[in-house]
Amino acid sequence: MSEALGLEDVLREHPFTTGMRPEHLRELAGCAREVLLAAGTFPIREGDAADTFYALRDGAVAIEVHAPSGPLVVQTLHAGDVLGWSWLFPPYRSAFDARVVEPARALAFDAPCLRGKAERDHELGYALMLRMARVFTSRLAATRLQLLDLYGPRA
């Protein structure tokens, strides 16, 4: 029980969960564990089962896509960011690689646990989906800027 309370405190401070109801933080904490991610490792691999969602506390993780010339970094995530959204949508397969650039501490959430709780408590599911929608729009905007930088008119 004390571990769950400690995780609730960590969740309360993470930007992704800002403003969440205490009972929802408790539910999330029940699906979470603290992890250390070593530099050079891949917590997420394209095509693998999307069974974990991460809330980064520190460090850096690069989101990469495969290209003929080698991996391309789409975005680099840092403290306060979240990693992974494929856990939300069938067939629950990761759409990208995530490579740890700097050693990171994170909360790792068991995705089936989160999906089950969101299905049973639609208010929790709605709160999670609203937060994930913010992540989607932020990532889409960042990708758009990258595309403009790569393919926009040259001065």
Opening angle at CA 13, ends 120 and 43, nearest 5: 70
Q: What is the DSSP string of 10-25?
A: HHHHSGGGTT--HHHH
Confidence of residue 154 (pLDDT cuts 50, 70, 90): low
pLDDT band at residue 74 under the 50/70/90 scheme: confident
pLDDT of residue 2: 39
Residue 126: strand pairing partners = none
Tell me the backbone φ, ψ of residue 74, rounded to 5 degrees: -85, -40
User: Binning pLDDT at 50, 70 and 90, where does residue 68 land?
Assistant: confident
Q: Is the pLDDT of residue 88 over 70?
A: yes
> How far is Cα 130 from Cα 125, in angstroms, rounded to an integer?
9
Q: Which domains does the chain show, CATH number per domain?
A: 2-151 (2.60.120.10)
Confidence of residue 3 (pLDDT cuts 50, 70, 90): low
What span, in angstroms and rounded, lies between the C-alpha atoms of 87 and 111? 6
More confident residue, 147 or 83: 83
**What is the per-residue pLDDT for 1?**
38
Its pTM stands at 0.86
Over residues 96-131, the pLDDT tens digits come to 999 999 999 999 999 999 999 999 999 999 999 999
Give the per-residue pLDDT at 135. 85
Q: How many angstroms separate the CA atoms of 132 and 126, rounded?
A: 10
pLDDT band at 22 (very low <50, low <70, confident <90, very high): very high
Taking all residues of the chain, what is their mean pLDDT, rounded to a whole number? 90
Whether residue 26 has pLDDT greater than 90: yes
